[in-house]
Amino acid sequence: MSTELPNIVTILESKLEGTVFAHYLRLWENVIFSLIIISILSIASYFVCRKQRLVPNRLQNIFEMFVGGIDDFVCGILGAQGRKYTPFIGTLFIYIIFMNFFGLVPFMKSSTTSWSTTLALALCVFIYVQYSAIKENGIIGYIDHMMGKPRGFLAFTVAIPLLLLFLHIVGELIKPISLSLRLRSNIWGDDILLSIMAGFGLKGIPMLFFNTFLAIIAGTVQAVVFCLLSTIYFALVLAHED
């Protein structure tokens, strides 16, 4: 018996059990919910941006405050150069927080409960961080950074720079794994807990409401943590103005 709450895809899959279509629904379940969120956010963005005003209306004002808050968050860590990373970090945050909350809607699911989704997001961060590091520092500067920028006697030991290079490579490879598992495990745990509470029937309603409130807080915190760590990863590889 599944410990997850039923959703529109699993219900449709059960109705079509034994067919090829049901097989594909099972395989693409998380992608379907990801596409639903992307569609909702795209439509909302279209209506906000199609008629921008000098004096914003209520909806435009909310979005501008939201974007401004994310920009302040990113630039507060990366400085003025962080503004060019605001669209990427902001997109991550908006997608993750909406996806985390989507599982709280009846018959919907958070794709962030799947490691395939969170790992894909973490790999996007990993690739962009490495690309930015090479672009900002150059290949030689990137390798020099990975070796710990050895100077003087340390540069002639060879063994220490190579050891640091190995440790940095291992550390960089671990980052997307830890980033993705942290998000996935927390959201999946919240969904499982809500499923168990729902299984208690009427007796579990008070606890279900309480845990839903906790899940909203946890979903927000996990989105912030994911984006905070992503921003810090950028800060670690970018040149600093000392």
Residue 3 lies in a domain: no
Residue 52 lies in a domain: yes
Q: Which domain holds residue 91?
A: 8-237
pLDDT score for 242: 45
Predicted TM-score of the model (pTM): 0.87
DSSP secondary structure, the chain, as one string: ---SPP-HHHHHHHHTTTSHHHHHHHHTHHHHHHHHHHHHHHHHHHHHHTT--SS--HHHHHHHHHHHHHHHHHHHHH-GGGGGGHHHHHHHHHHHHHHHHHTTSTT---GGGSHHHHHHHHHHHHHHHHHHHHHHHHHHHHHHHHTT---THHHHHSHHHHHHHHHHHHHHHHHHHHHHHHHHHHHHHHHHHHHHHHTTGGGGHHHHHHHHHHHHHHHHHHHHHHHHHHHHHHHHHS----
**Share of residues in the chain with pLDDT > 90 (%):** 43
Residue 89 lies in a domain: yes
What total of structural domains would you count in the chain?
Answer: 1
Residue 242 lies in a domain: no
Mean pLDDT of 126-134: 93
Mean pLDDT estimate for the chain:
86
Mean pLDDT of 80-89: 90
Residue 2 lies in a domain: no
Mean pLDDT of 33-40: 94
Residue 79 lies in a domain: yes
Chain segment 173-196, per-residue pLDDT in tens: 999 999 999 999 999 988 888 888
Residue 1 lies in a domain: no
Residue 106 has pLDDT above 80, yes or no: yes
Chain segment 9-22, per-residue pLDDT in tens: 989 988 888 888 88
Residue 42 lies in a domain: yes
